[in-house]
Structure 1
């Protein structure tokens, strides 16, 4: 268990893999912690140096007063990568993690040489949509939005899976301030212009049943970047690394190997 201190903020992170391995950074979604990736890691190439972390307001990281800006989330990630010596890395981001990937690539190409945009967009939703959700959470906590969120996140069959309650509980145990703070960051972000200027190897992954970032949104974002690859995982929702880990790991491994992984 590792904590990095940046001013008043402490971020929880974990580094695994050989010291000389290919650096890969994973950034998770709103309402989850770094365990989001647990299922797929054993199925990836063995020569990876992997950094996972809990963004501010999530997991074991600090929960500063919100709202947060996307710039702050990107800066947190930048500082953590500098702190841990991760540079020239493959950045894998899901949902808000994919927005962080886009912003960081535009800011620090020395840190990001390729990226995986999973279930994300250059712009997600509208300010009014996020304002309504934030208001609901401020009034009734995350319990007030958990059921519609789970419907957007997971395919109907997965709701009967024994693992489903754990993901529901993870969402519910996210600090409300952390969730609303990051929701504000998403609401205020439009990376269409900056992402369209990116020129780096990119893989976009979408889930056919994703109600949060539908395939059209994910692939429209991918189309902003010349040469970006697009993969659709059928029968999966917003977190295909949870619902379809074998297929997700195979797609991700192929991309990592194309970037030089063993």
Structure 2
């Protein structure tokens, strides 16, 4: 297990593949950890130097007292690249990680060859709803959020057919840091990149889930209309599309990166 200090947070990360290959960073969604990318790092480690990390407040990364900001989430990635002496990388983030990817493309275009943003939006949800969720989690813990997470993350057929996997992800969420989760909710409450998307010049692939109730295809279409050098791929999955439809996900990412 590798860690490094990024300002006030200790960030846990793991690398896969040959360090001489092009670098590819994966960024997790709210309430998960880097293990959510298993089907991706096993697939891409042959052609890329894959870097997975736990977003601050998640997994084995520390959870300093919040609220966090999107700037902090993005800066952690830049600090990770600096720590690994990587000048330029490709980036793939989902949901909250997709917002991080948009921020990186706006503020650090010189550090990224390509950016992939999946099941995300330039503004996710409503500010008050995120702030209410942060209060709920700090006072009652994560068990109630974890109990209903699967219905937001996956389609019913996937939940029925992959019960063990879905239970593992739900249990991981329930056992997570309430402070880390709440602090990321507060970052999402304030994050709004809609007015800045037109600044993006890095090539961007947007992946939108046809059955995603959280960040919709309409959200993906809005981002595509604002980002000049972007393409949109609609995937037949719900919110965590890389787990629900890994073959289609890996294929379109590989095509974009090559």
TM range (shorter): over 0.9
Contact 2:44 2:50 in 1 (8 A): no
Contact 1:136 1:145 in 2 (8 A): no
User: TM-score by structure 1 length?
Assistant: 0.93
SS at match of 2:77: helix
Moved more, 240-249 or 83-92: 83-92
Q: CA deviation at 1:7?
A: 4.4
Q: Aligned partners of 1:210, 1:171: CA distance in 2, in Å?
A: 19
Q: Aligned partners of 1:23, 1:45: CA distance in 2, in Å?
A: 10
Q: Aligned partners of 1:28, 1:7: CA distance in 2, in Å?
A: 20
User: Does residue 110 of structure 1 match 2:110?
Assistant: yes
The aligned counterpart of 2:47 is 47
The aligned counterpart of 1:38 is 38
Q: Deviations over 1:173-209 (max 9, x none)?
A: 2211010001100110111122221112111111112
Contact 1:11 1:61 in 2 (8 A): yes
The aligned counterpart of 2:126 is 126
Structure 2 runs not aligned, ≥5 long: none
The aligned counterpart of 1:203 is 205
Q: Aligned partners of 1:8, 1:96: CA distance in 2, in Å?
A: 20
Q: CA deviation at 1:45?
A: 6.8
Contact 1:90 1:112 in 2 (8 A): yes
User: TM-score by structure 2 length?
Assistant: 0.94
Larger helix proportion, structure 1 or 2? 2
SS at match of 1:121: coil
Q: CA deviation at 1:8?
A: 4.1
- Shift >4 Å, 4+ stretches: none
Computed over aligned residues only, the root mean square deviation of the Cα atoms, in angstroms, reads 1.4
The aligned counterpart of 1:13 is 13
Q: CA deviation at 1:28?
A: 0.7
Structure 1 runs not aligned, ≥5 long: 258-262
The aligned counterpart of 1:260 is none
Q: Aligned partners of 2:45, 2:56: CA distance in 1, in Å?
A: 29
